[in-house]
């Protein structure tokens, strides 16, 4: 059950790859995240170490989540139910390691694993931005977003590889409050809403303590993932990212 919750969380990372594999080759070398353009009024969360604990509800299943991030370096995810950890992931810029305790299996390799499981390409920077609620820049530097302001909200739009991307930024907070990506051909759509912004200790940027992801494929009913954090700590301490493969676990290809 916790495995499905964690994979549901990773669905959020598919928003820019949901229709076109060729724009995100899984063997590409990692690149440094680009800064937010001057015209875009979003303030990305800056930190060295972040720890977040909470609950996740994916479709009809729920469980606990523990997320740790070393900025631009490591994402560590643990999902559990009733105190039993069923899934752990250790993700870097160029590698993915996943431990499935429920089935005594593990995977160690590159991003082909996540791309295969989710049926879309995935990158480290994409997953990090979506977990943090940071501004998601176009993959191509040649893509120039269209920026407009309506009342207290800035709207940022761009098109890329058949995708229509829109981000709504709350000017008062300087944070992304909604991200929508739609495939102009299939009409598949992903909407990510960030809410319940709360101030963090040791960091001036408010953090969304509730994240809701809706994935709409064609005319089918949308799948929904809701993450509710109960506490988020930034740079409180240097975090550890424990990950090891127990004896007797089978390696998945």
Q: CATH number, domain at 181? A: 2.50.20.10
Assess contact for 135 and 35: CB atoms under 8 A: no
Residues 6 or more apart whose CB falls under 8 angstroms from that of 220 comprise none
Q: Which two tokens stand for residue 145?
A: 């977003």
Does residue 126 form part of some domain?
A: yes
pLDDT score of 178 = 96
pLDDT score of 173 = 94
Residue 206 — left, alpha, or beta (φ > 0 → left; ψ -120 to 50 → alpha)?
A: beta
* Owning domain of residue 225: 2-242
Q: Pseudo-torsion of CA 196, 155, 141, 216, nearest 10°?
A: 70
pLDDT score of 13 = 40
pTM, to two decimals:
0.82
Does residue 13 form part of some domain?
A: yes
Q: Could you say which residues of the chain have pLDDT below 50?
A: 1-7, 9-31
Residues 6 or more apart whose CB falls under 8 angstroms from that of 202 comprise 234, 235, 236
The total domain count for the chain is 1
Does residue 249 form part of some domain?
A: no
Does residue 253 form part of some domain?
A: no
Does residue 18 form part of some domain?
A: yes
Does residue 98 form part of some domain?
A: yes
Tell which residue, 119, 234, 128, 135, has the closest CA to residue 179.
135
Assess contact for 202 and 235: CB atoms under 8 A: yes
Does residue 252 form part of some domain?
A: no
């Amino acid at each position: 059950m916790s495995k499905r919750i964690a994979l549901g969380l990773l669905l959020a990372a598919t928003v820019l790859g949901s229709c076109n594999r060729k724009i995100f080759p899984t063997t590409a070398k990692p690149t440094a995240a680009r800064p937010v353009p001057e015209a875009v009024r979003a303030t990305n969360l800056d930190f060295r170490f972040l720890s977040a604990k909470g609950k996740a509800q994916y479709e009809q299943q729920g469980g606990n989540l523990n997320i740790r991030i070393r900025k631009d370096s490591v994402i560590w995810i643990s999902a559990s139910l009733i105190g039993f950890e069923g899934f752990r992931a250790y993700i870097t810029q160029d590698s993915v390691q996943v431990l499935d305790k429920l089935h005594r299996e593990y995977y160690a390799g590159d991003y082909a694993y996540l791309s295969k499981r989710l049926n879309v390409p995935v990158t480290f920077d994409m997953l990090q931005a979506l977990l943090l609620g940071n501004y998601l820049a176009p993959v191509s530097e040649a893509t120039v977003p269209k920026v407009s302001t309506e009342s207290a909200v800035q709207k940022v739009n761009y098109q890329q590889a058949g995708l229509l991307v829109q981000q709504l930024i709350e000017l008062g907070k300087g944070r992304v409050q909604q991200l929508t990506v739609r495939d102009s051909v299939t009409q598949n759509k992903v909407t990510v809403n960030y809410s319940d912004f709360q101030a963090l200790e040791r960091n001036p940027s408010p953090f969304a303590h509730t994240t809701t992801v809706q994935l709409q494929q064609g005319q089918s009913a949308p799948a929904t993932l809701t993450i509710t954090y109960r506490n988020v700590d930034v740079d409180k301490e240097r975090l550890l990212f424990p990950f090891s493969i127990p004896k007797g676990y089978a390696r998945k290809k």
